[in-house]
């Protein structure tokens, strides 16, 4: 997937093996992109913590506070935001109660976070016009350096001859 261009579609529902009423406190659902372990390595700002308040695995929201409706399947399509960095991801859905506290979650990968992963390529932010401008300014700085060096030498020779 390419950030800012491609779309991602997420469908979520309650696991049918759960007993009836387990979702009685679920009011809203938030869907987030989460870093896979390969993209967390040597990056403390992405680390997984068991406490959901301190967990930094899932930093990018796809959809926030969508009403929880059961038993229907819920689907949402969104364009991958331009500020999402290049990494390997999985998707996690958080169920919140009426106070907004996260009370449950489900994810597209297994407990080891090794399957159903996907990559997002971030935009580079470089354009041809930016490259041309940087070349022009670099050339101007080199010409200016030699020009001022030449003028300084000329002034010093003129002052010596007097």
Q: pLDDT digit of tens for each residue in the chain (162 aa)? A: 888 888 999 888 887 788 888 888 888 889 999 999 999 888 888 888 877 778 888 889 888 888 887 766 688 888 888 888 899 999 998 889 988 888 888 888 888 888 889 999 887 767 788 889 999 999 999 999 999 999 999 888 888 876
Residue 131 forms beta bridges with which residues? none
Other CB atoms within a 10 A radius of the CB of residue 59 amount to 14
What pLDDT score does 162 carry? 67
What are the distances in angstroms from CA 40 to CA 11, 30, 49, 54, 113?
25, 22, 12, 15, 12
Query: What tokens does 10 get?
Result: 């997420």
**Cis ω for the linkage preceding 71 (within 30 of 0):** yes
């Amino acid at each position: 997937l390419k950030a800012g261009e491609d779309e991602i579609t997420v469908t979520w529902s309650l696991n049918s093996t759960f007993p009836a009423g387990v979702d009685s406190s679920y009011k809203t659902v938030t869907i987030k992109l989460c870093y896979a372990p390969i993209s967390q390595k040597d990056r403390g700002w992405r680390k997984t913590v068991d406490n959901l308040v301190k967990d930094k695995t899932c930093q990018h929201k796809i959809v926030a506070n969508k009403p929880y409706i059961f038993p229907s399947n819920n689907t949402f399509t969104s364009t991958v935001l331009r500020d999402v960095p290049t990494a390997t991801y999985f998707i996690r859905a958080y169920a919140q109660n009426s106070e907004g506290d996260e009370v449950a979650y489900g994810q597209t990968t297994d407990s080891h976070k090794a399957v159903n992963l996907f990559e997002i390529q971030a935009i580079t932010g470089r354009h041809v016009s930016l490259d041309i401008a940087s070349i022009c300014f670099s050339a101007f700085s080199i010409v200016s350096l030699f020009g001022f060096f030449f003028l300084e030498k000329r002034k010093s020779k003129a002052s010596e001859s007097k």
